[in-house]
Structures are given as C-alpha cells and as structure tokens.
Amino acid sequence: MGIRELAGLSSDAKRLAIYNGAYNFASGLYGFIAVFYVTSLGYSAAFFGALSAAGEAALVISLLGAPHVASRTGARGSIAAGTALTAASVAALALSSAPPVLMASFIGAGTGQALVSPNLSSLISTSEPGERRTAAFVASGFLGQVGAFLGTALSGTMADALQPEVGRVDAYRWVIAAASLAMASAVAASAGVKLDLRPGQNPWRIRREDLGTMWRLVAAATMIGAGAGFLIPFFPLQFKYRFGSSASYISLLFSTTNAAMAALMLYMPELERRLGSLNAIVGSWALATALMVIMPASSRTPFGEAIFSALYLGRTTVMNAIGPVQSSFELSMLAPDERPAFSSLETISWNAANAATVALGGLIMQQSLDAPFYVCGAFYSAAAAFYYASFRGSAGRRPP
C-alpha cells in the first residue's frame, strides 16, 4: 500500500490513526514495564496473572454496557472518557504498591479499554467506504504500531537509565507515571475527529440473517483469546527466566517487533489482493503458530537467545500485521449499524477467554516454561481451522 493511497484518506480517518498512535505509545510505555514492576515488588508471576485476569474481567463486563454508553455519549465521547479513565488508572499504579490499589488500577484500565476499543473500530470502519476501508484500518494499525514501537523502546531504556539513580522499583514507577501523562495527551489527539456514531435504543440488535456469521466470528476470537492467555502476557518473563535478559534488551526486541509489524502492515493489502482475504488471514495465523511452537526447542541451541528472539519477532509480526485485513474482512460482512455491537461482542469473547486462561498460564509457567507454547499453539491451530472452514468461499459483502 503506497503513501499516496494513505494520504488520500479522509481527515477523520487520518485523525483516528493519529489518536491510535498516541494511545498505543502510552500503552507501550506502561504495558511493557507492568509485569516487571509487579514482580519487582515481590509478587509472583501468578499474582500478576490474577491482576491481568481482573483487568480482562473488568473489560468484559464493561463491554456489555459500552454500546449503551455510546448511545448516550456517542462513540467519540466514549473514546475520550475511556482514555481519561485509563490515564487515571495508570497513575494509581505508580502511586501505590498495595494489592487493592494494584487490583483497582488493572480493573480501571480494563474498563477504560472497553470504552475505547469497539468504538474506535466502528469509527474507523465508517470513516471510509467500500474498498477504502482496508486502507483506513492499515493507516490506524500502522501508526498504532509506530506508537507502540516508540513507547516500548522508551519504556525499557528509561527504566534502565533511571535505576542507578532511584533504584529499580522507583525507576519503574517513573516510567508508569510518564505513561499516564502520555495517555492523558491522547485525549487531545481525539478532539479533532468530527465523525460520530450513536447506536440506537437497542444497540445489541443483530439481523437474523447475520447471526450465524457473527457467532462464527465470535467463536474464532474466543479460541484465539483463550490460547493467548496461556502465553502472551508472560513473554517478558520468558526472556528473563530463560536467558536473564535485561529490561532494555527485551524492550528493544519488542519495539523492533512493533516497527517490523508497522512495515509489514503496509504490504498486507497486497497480500490480500493476491491470496484473498481469508487465505491471507488463515495463512498468517498458521505461519505464526508454527514459528511459536518451535521457540522452546530453539532456546536450548548454542545461539538460543538470538534464535528465540528472531522467532518471537517473526511470530508476533506475522500474527498481528494481518489485523487490519481481518478487521476490514469481518466488518464488511455486517451492516454498518451492527458493527458497534459486533465489535463489542468480539472483544468480549476474546478477553473473557483470555481472562479465563491468563491466571492458569502464570501457574503453568511456574512449573514449565515450555508448556504454555504448546497449549497456545493448540488453540491457535483450532481457531485457524475453524475460521477457514466457516468462511471458505466467502469474499465478504461491503455495505456502504
């Protein structure tokens, strides 16, 4: 996808992409360092898993009410409110190490994300018509990954630079405080968006003929979310426990992955044109899963850390770079007024499944560093097979 095509997007599509970049920059700052911060306080990986599960549960519960909130505030107002709530919750994380405050912080961040995520996807899908919808998602995904790259890179580097002066725990706190300020600034980035959506009095209404499509999409998202919970939140600890990797090394790797993801996203529409949406999506999932399941064995080779890191970069890039194509493909199969409810329901299913497995993932990792990879791989493989069988032959329809 060329720069000219992205530059030709509507002003609202561009502003939404800029907001997504700012939001992901702040998320990268605190999201990367959170697991190190919690464990540096003396808590276990299992406790971090419990915190993550509480945040996911709050996200799921809040998503049930998110369409009703949007029907009153509009999608744009919900995004601003959710971003502000996340900023306040991250600030609380930096101010106290008491378990109740940590739990409240994760719950608040989950609630804030519930107000942002489905409404952002719905606005992006409406900001451009027809075939240009994929371009709008690519622009948002590209800037989102650039923001995540910068936030993640700065997170570990800043923490390592501050540690000699203030100590490890306070260094992490300063990074988290900076993330809170960055998240607050993202509210301003959304202010210029003119487009808005307000679901009707019954925002959860889905046409009968679309129910089958919706539930198949939700089932696939549930399998992916469940598999991810066993492994993805614990990747920083995988590097720390296997190789003793420093926070700066891990943040450099993760931020490089974000940069690679941003670059590959620009090619994904071309891959979609060559293979078709469904083949591009399922093929990406299959390749990412194959790279993931060989990671444990690679860590025991003479150049284990380097190979493990390269496989992580490849797995994560391929799995996530297809996201804009997937979003466009899925939303194109539903009418515009159904998209906010579907986006909420898909996010609910992914995060509910993730919340159900993330605490278990922490417990499993305490017994075996390898097992989470194989459990996650089994769920991803099942999701890819189910998705392909469900939508084989479907090109999607694209309502105006």
**Residue 203 covered by a domain:** no
**Integer Cα distance of 269 and 292 in angstroms:** 24
For the segment 296-305, the average pLDDT, to the nearest whole number, is: 93
**Residue 197 covered by a domain:** no
**Residue 196 covered by a domain:** no
Q: Pick the residue with more confidence: 112 or 262? A: 112
Q: Tell me the CATH number at 232.
A: 1.20.1250.20
For the segment 6-24, the average pLDDT, to the nearest whole number, is: 85
Q: Pick the residue with more confidence: 370 or 130? A: 370
- Please check the confidence at residue 370 and state whether its pLDDT lies above 70: yes
Label residue 76 exposed, middle or buried (CB < 10 Å: 0-12, 13-18, 19+): buried
**Residue 349 covered by a domain:** yes
**Integer Cα distance of 38 and 362 in angstroms:** 13
For the segment 325-334, the average pLDDT, to the nearest whole number, is: 83
Confidence of residue 268 (pLDDT cuts 50, 70, 90): confident
For the segment 105-112, the average pLDDT, to the nearest whole number, is: 93
For the segment 96-102, the average pLDDT, to the nearest whole number, is: 89
**Residue 351 covered by a domain:** yes
In 3D space, the residue among 79, 69, 73 whose CA is nearest the CA of residue 112 turns out to be: 79
**Residue 19 covered by a domain:** yes
Which range is least confidently modeled, 42-46, 289-293, 358-362, 394-398?
Answer: 394-398
Confidence of residue 400 (pLDDT cuts 50, 70, 90): very low
**Integer Cα distance of 91 and 173 in angstroms:** 9
Digit-coded pLDDT (tens) for 56-93: 788 888 888 877 788 788 888 899 999 999 999 999 98
- State percent of the chain over pLDDT 70: 93
Are 83 and 112 in contact, with CB atoms under 8 Å apart?
yes
Digit-coded pLDDT (tens) for 161-202: 898 889 888 999 999 999 999 988 888 878 778 888 776 656
Q: What pLDDT is stored for residue 201 in this prediction?
A: 58
Digit-coded pLDDT (tens) for 21-52: 999 999 988 888 888 888 888 888 778 888 88
Digit-coded pLDDT (tens) for 211-230: 788 889 999 999 999 999 99
- Please check the confidence at residue 384 and state whether its pLDDT lies above 90: yes
For the segment 268-276, the average pLDDT, to the nearest whole number, is: 84
For the segment 276-292, the average pLDDT, to the nearest whole number, is: 94
- Please check the confidence at residue 280 and state whether its pLDDT lies above 70: yes
User: For residue 21, what are the domain limits?
Assistant: 11-190+209-391
CA angle 210, 214, 219 (to 5 degrees): 150
**Integer Cα distance of 288 and 317 in angstroms:** 8
**Integer Cα distance of 138 and 120 in angstroms:** 14
- Please check the confidence at residue 6 and state whether its pLDDT lies above 50: yes
Are 67 and 348 in contact, with CB atoms under 8 Å apart?
no
Q: Pick the residue with more confidence: 399 or 80? A: 80
Q: What pLDDT is stored for residue 396 in this prediction?
A: 45
Q: Which token pair is 123?
A: 């606005």
Neighbours of 291 (CB within 10 A): 21
Q: What pLDDT is stored for residue 202 in this prediction?
A: 61
**Residue 199 covered by a domain:** no
Q: Is 164 helix (H, G, I), strand (E, B) or coil?
A: helix
Q: What pLDDT is stored for residue 203 in this prediction?
A: 62
**Integer Cα distance of 243 and 265 in angstroms:** 30
- Single-letter amino acid code for the residue at 225: G
Tally of structural domains, the chain? 1
**Residue 397 covered by a domain:** no
Q: What is the DSSP string of 311-345?
A: HHHHHHHHHHHTHHHHHHHHHTTS-GGGHHHHHHH
Confidence of residue 398 (pLDDT cuts 50, 70, 90): very low
